[in-house]
Structure 1
Amino acid sequence: MKKIVVFGGSGFLGSYVSDELSHRGNKVVVADINESPYLSDGQSFIACDIMDPATIENAVKGADVVYNFAGLANLDESINQPKKTMEQNVLGNINVLEACKNLNLERYVYASSAYAFSDKGSFYGISKLSSEKIIEEYAARFNLPYTIIRYGSLYGERADVNNGMYRLLRAALEDKKIVLKSDGEDIREYIHAHDAARLSADIIETEEYLNQHMVLSGVERLRHKDLLQMVQEILSDDIEITYMEEPREGHYQVTPYSYHPTLARKLVLNSFIELGQGMVSCIKKIHDELEEEKGE
């Protein structure tokens, strides 16, 4: 049994990964500003702010493995808030690294993004690339073993307004109208957060991914136009869709990647949650959420 500390473990992806790690028999400590609504048996919570080194040092005591999902995750928000983005995603990561560098960790797992090695992604992408480079230097200077995971387009029942799929599905249910800030030809490879969590947990069970950069995304390429058609068919409803020809600032069309020398391997699952099935489950969750809001 490993003691694993998950920074940002109360959030969307972090909570799924925490659950998967617990399912595999590990002692999981969720370290976050807010207590997780998904905290399960066998998990413990510790209040922690990645901008507060003292709380970080308290959280990582006795840890064998540390996952870092904490920080600002909304690309659109980062465009107009460069200082906040860099403080949380770069300085926050350094604070966690400082607390970990002398712990003799088995692994430091960092949640990066497909935007890290892209000319897109604005300050969010820059913050992720900076953090990757900083981790590599900590590994070289302090012998800190790491794995960096560049996550692609995630979705799942625990998502919120920071998630693109959530925003589309909520707009379809609530407004019967979706405004897509692109021409619909942009392509994504969606993966359910539950599947992403399984792969994220696999990484620490072998040395194959030690000091490696991994890409974690779905296996099927899908245009936004096709995704919205699926939404219409699932809801059996007349959803008004408006396409804006100007692409969203900071977002990629077909691929996030630009040429950079650090390559990453892609992780895939043999079995995974089919996109349509996953979307139905998300739609039900958002529907229940909207009904609760009406009753308040």
Structure 2
Amino acid sequence: MTNKLTIFTPTYNRAHLLPRLYKSLCEQTAMNFIWMIIDDGSTDGTAMIVEEWKREADFEIQYHYKENGGMHTAHNMAYAIIDTELNVCIDSDDQMPPGAVEKIINIWKANTNPQAAGIIGLDADLEGKVLGTPIPRDLKKGNLKDLYKKFGVTGDKKLVLRSELTKQYPAYPEYKKEKLVPLGILYLMIGNDYDFIYSNEVLCLVDYQEGGSSNTIQKQYFQSPRGFAYAKQVQKKYSHSAKEQITYSIHIGISSLITKDFSLMNQGPKIFLNWLFLPLAYLGFVYLKRKTK
């Protein structure tokens, strides 16, 4: 049976959590998938554990090691080497519920749009409670931004991507000494050009870790200001809201103040807004600096 889906997992020193994810993959009802582990410089014996799994698993496991560079650099590596039609990122602290792989493949088989970008499904907690709100049932296709902005949907959602498209858009930029570029900008760019299939199937069970990226976002702002500035430039480009564009300009100004590199102010669309709202950016900079101490 040809593998149609790659499940890729960026990981850094999560050998204590990966077995839970591995167990959930072993319990899937369909095994025509590849589990691709992108080891972002782990020093906790992850490679040895994975080698044992490769010998015993009923599905293909690929292991790729790289120097530590952050989540987005692991995504860059995965997208460059994935060769299945679909891919989905399942983080090292998450799991796939029983039947999730089969559901993804069946949803895709039923798809009548060859240009569909992929699938947007639901995330739930470990008890199965959906995060935020489900997708309105009368909506069949669209993008992630519209779900949040137009239809008031809340909570993290799980995106399955058509792998061909992930290779057509710019890779996440990799900045020296920075470990984060917000991942949503790729989904924004793809969703601007292609529709996703909406589904209310739960495709991922999440378990946010203390110290994980979801819980340390303000601190990471100061650790990766160029990455955040780039993300805000992209978001500003695709926004049609004056309020949003001003907000993104303020964030670009904050990143410029953190880095003391005001060339960031002259990048992206509507540069004049960056300079016009620099005073508000300074207030935001002071507030965030105090809050993260």
Q: Please classify the TM superposition score into its range, dividing by the shorter chain length.
A: under 0.3
What TM-score do the two structures reach when normalised by structure 1? 0.28
What TM-score do the two structures reach when normalised by structure 2? 0.28
